[in-house]
Structures are given as C-alpha cells and as structure tokens.
Amino acid sequence: MSERLNEIGGLPMFDAQPYGGLPGHVADSDTSRDAAVSMLPNVGTKRRVIYDWLVDFPSTDDELEAATGWRHQTVSARRRELVMLGLVVDSGKRRETSSGRAATVWEVVEVEVVR
C-alpha cells in the first residue's frame, strides 16, 4: 500500500467524508440515506483500494470496475470522493471503455507532506 499523505484535516484521509458525514446519497431519500449509512464501515477501505490501484495504474472507472470486481456505483462514488478530497484528478487522457465510449483516465495527485 502507498505510504503517501496519511491525514487530511486531522482525519485519516480515507475515512474523511467529503459529503458532510455520510458517503454520497440522495438527500430526500430514506433508502439512499440508509444505503450510505450501511457503507460507512467500508467506504474508507474501498477508497484506499482505488487510490492504491491508481498510484500504479491510472485508470478509467470502467478499468477500476474490472480491477476490483465492484459495481459501477461503488467505483464511481469512491473515485469521486477521492477527487473531492483533492487526491485524484483527470489526467487529461481518454481511453475506450468496454462499451466503446471514450472515458476519463484518473490519476493520483502527487502530494507532499509538510510537518
């Protein structure tokens, strides 16, 4: 696993919640909120898996889905959170997905830890 930046705002970076306390969900939906609450124990671990993969293999969401075996909703949500945390960015490159469409290639931002 990568030993890059370990904290953001005093919180372990993979446990930070960029959506204000819960993983992303539809604000007016009780089922969406329940699903977000159920993800809390695993969301940081899933972010870490995606981050560590992107350190070595800049990828599209489609490629991340293939690498992890996770559903699109899980991969795209965790990758989006990494973008919101400033840890992952659009590389400017595009690659074809399994459906033949062009997709963004995501890469890790080089982060310098200042102590």
Q: Return averaged pLDDT per consecutive 10 residues of the chain, 115 residues in all.
A: 42 54 61 55 73 94 96 90 88 96 94 59
**Whole-angstrom Cα distance, residue 74 to residue 88?**
16
**Whole-angstrom Cα distance, residue 48 to residue 96?**
25
Helix H or strand E segment including 69: none
**Whole-angstrom Cα distance, residue 92 to residue 94?**
7
Terminal-residue alpha carbon distance, the chain: 21
pTM of the model as a whole: 0.67
**Whole-angstrom Cα distance, residue 52 to residue 46?**
10
β-strands 7-8, 88-96 pairing? unpaired
Residue 87's pLDDT is: 85
> 68-95 pLDDT, tens per residue?
999 998 899 889 988 988 889 999 999 9
Neighbours of 16 (CB within 10 A): 18
Which domains, ranges and CATH numbers included, belong to the chain?
Answer: 7-108 (1.10.10.10)
What single-letter DSSP state applies at residue 59?
B
